[in-house]
Amino acid sequence: MKPANRTENATDSHPESEVNQAVEVAQDPPNILIVDDNPTNLKVLSGVLEKAGYRVRPALGGSAALKTIDRLLPDLILLDIRMPDMDGYAVCERLKSQGETASIPVIFISAMDAVEDKVKAFDAGGVDYITKPFQFTEVLARVNTQLSLSQTRRELESKNEALAEARDFLEERVQKRTADLNHSNVQLTVALAERDCAMALTERQKNLYHALSEINLSVLRLDNPGALYQAATRIAVEFAGFDRAWVICWDEGASGEIRADYAGKTQIPVSMNQELSLIRNENSVLQEQQYRIFQRACHAAETTGVVGDTSGDSEAELMSIAAFPLFFDRVPIATFNMCTLKPDMFDGEIIALLNQMSGNISYGLTNYARDRAQQQFNAMLQKAVSGMGGATGKVYFERLVRYLAESLDLEYCAIALLDQARTGMMTSVAFVEEGRLAPNFSFPIAGTAAEAVINAGSVTYPKDVASLFPEDQWLRAHQVNSYAGVPVRGREGAIMGVLSVMSRNHFDLSPILEGILELFALRLGTEYERLQVEEALRNNAEELERLVNERTSELQAANQELESFSYTVSHDLRAPLRALDGFSAALIEDYSDQLDEQARMYLGFLQESSAEMTALVDGLLELSRSARSELHVD
C-alpha cells in the first residue's frame, strides 16, 4: 500500500507556473521513457518533458516498460518504484543485467523518502533519486545532467576505441616493415647464392656481398645499437677488406663520440681526435647528408695487437678515409667510417656497397628506435592505467603530473588552465618540481611558451627555450632549457589549458611520446568538463534548496496568518452564537404557551443552526491547533 496521507501524484504545483527553462534541442532530441502505474503522473511528467524539448514515451507499469524498451532503446528512464505488476527495483535490475540496456541511466522517482529505499535504488543500478512531490525545475536539471554525463561517457568510449585502432595500426606498420626487411634479406641471400654459383664472380665480389649479407643479418638480430655498430665495423674489416673501421655518434654541438672501433692486422696509428677534427671541420657529411672521402699521410706497422709505435724512419703512406652518414628517420645521427692504405680502394663498386650497408644500418636503427618507442608507449599506457586507478578531479591531476615527470625523467610537469575570472591569465591546478608537488601559481599568458601552445597547438623546444621567450620569467628563474606542451581541449575543441613538461637539460619529444601527452590532454579535458558539470549540478542543487527554503518560509508565514485568523474568527463568533442559542431556549421555555406552532418551529431551526455553527467554530479552533503540531505519515 502507498502512504495514505502522502499523494503519489507528480507535484503539487502547476507545470506552466514552475517550468521556465528548456534544454537546447538538437535535431534528434533525447528519447526519455517514463514508467509509472499512475496515468496522471505519466501525463504530467510527459507534458513537462515534451515542453522542454525531449521525446517522451510513457509506460503504464514495469512489464509494459520492458516490452517498449525491447522495441526501441531510450536515452534515459524515469522509473517509479511501487507498481502492481513489477516494482521499479526489479525493472532496473533486469535492465542492468543485460548488456544492451546496462548503460541506460535510470532515475528513480517515488514518494518513498527513507534512506534505505534510496540505498536500495542505487544498489539496483539507479544513477539518481527524486522524491515526490518535486519541482519541475529539479526534474529538468537532473535529467539534463544525467543525459550530459551519459553523452560524455559515450564520447570517451569512442575516443578510447579510436586510440586502440591507432595502436593496432602502428603495430601493423612495424610488423610490415620487419616483414619487408626479412623479405629483402631473403632476396639478397638468394642473389648471393646465385652469384656464388656463377664461375665469373671474383673473390672480391663474393666478399663484398658476403659483407652486405652479414650486415643484414646483424640488422635482423638487432637488440641494441652498440652491438650493431660493433658488428658493422668488424664486417667492414673482415669481409670488405678495410684496415680499420669505426662509428662516431654526433650530438647537435658537433662533438663526436666513438661508439665502436675495429682494426685489422695492419694497424694504422690513426689519431681519433685528429680524424674527428678532420671530419668536423669539413662538416659536409652531416650537412650534405652524403659520404665523403679524405686522404692524409700516415705510417703503418705490422702488428697483431694494439696500435704500435711508428718509427721515425718508416716510410709515409697515403691513407684514404671515408665517412658515410647514418640516419634515424632521415636525420643524420652518426658516421660510419673506414680507412685503408690500399690504393684505389674506394671505386664505384665499394662505394655502392658501403652506401647499401649504411642504408641498411640506418633502416635497422630507425626500426629499433620505433620498436622501443612503441614498447615505451605501451608500458607508459599500462602504467598510467594502473597508476591513475579510479582517481578523479584534483587527485587525478596530481597523480598525472607525478607520473609524467617520473616516466620521462624530467624535472617539471604542470597542468595550467585558463583563468575564467581573469582574462589573459592562467592558473596551475597541479605542478611537480624535482619529484615533489609544488604550490600552484598564476601567471600572465602573453609572451610565454604556454601562449605558443594555445596559438599553434602542440610544440616542442629541445633547447634554449628561455631565450625564445624572454618575457617568460618563470622559465628563466627555474633555468628551464627544454619545453614540450600540448593543448587541453574540451569536447567542442575549445582550448581550456596546457599540459607541459620541462627540463633543465636537452630533450626532444618523439612523435609517440607527443601522442601520449595528447592522449592525457584529451583525458584532462574530459575530466575538467566533468568537474564543471558537477559544479553546475551543485549550484543547481543549492539554488533549488534556496527556492525550497523561501517557499517553505512563505507557506509557514501564510499558515501563521491563517491560524491567527481562524482563532480570532472562532472566538468572535462563539459569543453571538451562545447568545442566539440562549435567547432561543429562553423564549421556548418562558413563552412557549404564547407562541404558535410556526414560531416554535422557527426557534427550533434557530437552535439547530446555532449548534451547527458552534460545531463549525470548534472545528476551526481544532484546525488552528493541529497546524502547530508536526504531521506524521503512517
* pLDDT tens digits for range 273-324: 555 555 554 445 556 667 777 776 665 544 333 333 333 444 556 778 888 8
SS3 sequence of 47-77:
HHHHHCCCEEEEECCHHHHHHHHHHCCCCEE
Would strands 55-59 and 31-35 be described as parallel, antiparallel, or unpaired? Answer: parallel
pLDDT of residue 446: 92
Q: Is residue 28 pLDDT above 80, yes or no? A: no
Confidence of residue 161 (pLDDT cuts 50, 70, 90): confident
Cα separation, 258 vs 417, whole angstroms: 46
CA angle, residues 158, 162, 163, in degrees to nearest 5? 115
477 and 355 inside one domain: no
Claim to verify: residue 238 and residue 311 sit in the same structural domain: yes
Q: 238 with 318, same domain?
A: yes
CA separation for the pair 192, 186 (Å, rounded):
10
| Domain co-membership, 222 together with 363 | yes
Domain match, 565 and 461 both? no
Percent of the chain at pLDDT exceeding 90? 13
What pLDDT does 380 receive? 67
Asked if residue 444 belongs to a domain, the reply is: yes
223 and 366 in a common domain: yes
Q: What is the pLDDT of residue 199?
A: 46
For the cut 70, the answer to whether the pLDDT of residue 198 exceeds it is: no
- Do 462 and 548 lie in one domain? The reply is no
Of 372, 405, 436, which residue sits at a domain end?
372
The larger pLDDT score, comparing residue 478 to residue 613, is at 478
Q: Is residue 297 part of a domain?
A: yes
pLDDT at position 581 is 76
What's the chain's average pLDDT? 78
**Cell numbers describing residue 45:** 511528467
Order of strands across the sheet that contains 317-328 = 256-263, 244-250, 331-340, 317-328, 292-298
Question: Does residue 65 have a pLDDT over 70?
Answer: yes
**235 vs 213, 226, 227, 247, 405, CA distance in Å?**
10, 14, 12, 13, 42
CATH number for the domain spanning 602: value is 1.10.287
Mean pLDDT to the nearest integer, 516-524: 84
**Contacting residues for 288 by C-beta, under 8 A, at least 6 apart:** none
For residues 132 and 217, membership in a common domain is answered with no
- pLDDT range class, residue 19, cuts 50, 70, 90: very low
125: left (phi over 0), alpha (psi -120 to 50) or beta: left
Residue 56 belongs to a domain with what CATH number? Answer: 3.40.50.2300
**Domain assignment of residue 358, given as a range:** 202-372
**Whether residues 417 and 367 fall in one domain:** no
Residue 382 within any structural domain of the chain: no
pLDDT computed for residue 630 by the predictor:
58
Q: Is the pLDDT of residue 133 over 90?
A: no
> Does residue 336 fall inside a structural domain?
yes
Q: Which of 255-269, 355-369, 487-501 has the highest mean pLDDT?
A: 487-501
* Dihedral sign from CA coordinates of 207, 212, 217, 221: positive
Calculate what percentage of the chain has a pLDDT beyond 70: 80
Tens digit of each residue's pLDDT (9 = 90 or more) over 227-286: 888 888 888 888 888 888 888 887 654 556 777 788 877 656 555 555 555 555 444 555
Positive or negative: CA dihedral 368, 373, 378, 383: positive
Give how many domains the chain has, as a whole number.
4
Residues belonging to the chain: 634
Q: Is residue 28 part of a domain?
A: yes
User: Which grid cell is 241?
Assistant: 677488406
**Is the pLDDT assigned to residue 498 strictly greater than 90?**
yes
Cα separation, 543 vs 15, in Å, equals 19
Per DSSP, 319 falls in state E
Distance CA 237, CA 265 (A): 10
Residue 456 has pLDDT above 50, yes or no: yes
Q: Is residue 500 part of a domain?
A: yes
* Of the candidate ranges 451-460, 461-470, 606-615, the one whose mean pLDDT is the lowest: 606-615
Q: What is the gyration radius of the CA atoms in the chain, in angstroms?
A: 44
* Domain co-membership, 211 together with 338: yes
Does a structural domain hold residue 312?
A: yes
Q: Is residue 172 part of a domain?
A: no
* Long-range interactions of 142-147: CB distance < 8 A, separation 24+: 142/107, 143/32, 143/49, 143/54, 143/76, 143/78, 143/107, 144/23, 145/533, 145/536, 145/537, 145/540, 146/76, 146/105, 146/107, 147/30, 147/75, 147/76, 147/105
Show which of 322, 339, 372 is a domain's final residue.
372
CB 503 within 8 A of CB 412: yes
User: How many C-beta neighbours within 10 Å does residue 257 have?
Assistant: 11
Last residue of a domain, one of 154, 178, 193: 154
Q: What is the pLDDT of residue 606?
A: 80
3-class DSSP state of 337: strand
Confidence of residue 195 (pLDDT cuts 50, 70, 90): low
The single-letter code of the amino acid at 466 is A
Residue 388 banded pLDDT, cuts 50, 70, 90? low
Residue 534 has pLDDT above 70, yes or no: yes
Taking 80 as the threshold, does the pLDDT of residue 529 lie above it?
A: yes
Q: What is the DSSP string of 170-221?
A: HHHHHHHHHHHHHHHHHHHHHHHHHHHH-TT--HHHHHHHHHHHHHHHHHHT
Q: For 95-118, what is each residue's pLDDT tens digit?
A: 989 888 888 999 999 888 888 988
Residue-level pLDDT at 585: 79
pLDDT of 590 > 50? The answer is yes
**Alpha carbon distance 338, 491 (integer Å):** 57
Both 341 and 430 in a single domain? no
In angstroms, rounded to a whole number, what is the distance separating the alpha carbons of residues 317 and 344?
13
105 and 221 fall within a common domain: no
pLDDT value for 54: 92
DSSP character for 83?
A: -
CATH number of the domain at 459, please.
3.30.450.40
Residues whose CB falls within 8 Å of the CB of residue 481, separated by 6 or more in sequence, listed in order? 463, 464, 465, 466, 503, 504, 505, 506
